[in-house]
Amino acid sequence: MPRFMILEPFTDWPPSRWATLGDSLLAYRQVDELSIIDEGRDFAVGRITLAKHLGISTRAPGWQAQPCVLELGGSLVAGLLLDEPSGFESGRVPLYLLCPCGAPACGALTARVRAENGTVLWSDFGTEVPYEKGLTQHPHQRRTGPFVFDAAEYRTTLAPYLG
């Protein structure tokens, strides 16, 4: 059942994701559903299994694994909640690490995370390392999102993974 929230118009929304009420200047944006799947190893956005969608292998063997920040918890999850800075020069926030050692310094798949009007937005998915400028985006990653979540539900979903 799709839900909609009243939002100020964002300039970067794909118009296909808007609905308007007659001549009203109010615009409505469908809210995406964030859930945690795969025993706390991954995100789902609606029916999208995010790691698979973005070409990330959370369950690859040994040093090929690219863990979700939910598995690592602590400041990585605090970053996702915008409670702490991400540690990336770009201000973007890691969702998955590219190396299983647990150090974001080895590189991460990141997103731009913004809080606006009672929502949290994820956009601009790509891979980067913390102290270098520049983001690598597969065409597929470039086409992912933007996703918009209800801010209160977002916090309720992610807060259990802070510990």
Binding site residues, Zn ion, CB under 5 A:
99, 101, 103, 106
Is 126 in contact with 8 (CB distance < 8 Å)? no
Of 60 and 101, CB closest to Zn ion: 101
Of 107 and 145, CB closest to Zn ion: 107
Of 130 and 146, CB closest to Zn ion: 130
Burial class (CB in 10 A: 0-12, 13-18, 19+), 41: middle
Of 110 and 119, CB closest to Zn ion: 110
Q: Do β-strands 34-37 and 119-128 pair in parallel, antiparallel, or remain unpaired?
A: unpaired
Shortest Cβ distance from residue 130 to Zn ion (Å)?
12
Shortest Cβ distance from residue 64 to Zn ion (Å)?
12
Shortest Cβ distance from residue 107 to Zn ion (Å)?
8
Shortest Cβ distance from residue 25 to Zn ion (Å)?
49
Burial class (CB in 10 A: 0-12, 13-18, 19+), 123: middle
Half-sphere exposure of 81 (CA within 13 A, CB side): 20
Shortest Cβ distance from residue 99 to Zn ion (Å)?
3
**37: which strand partners?**
42
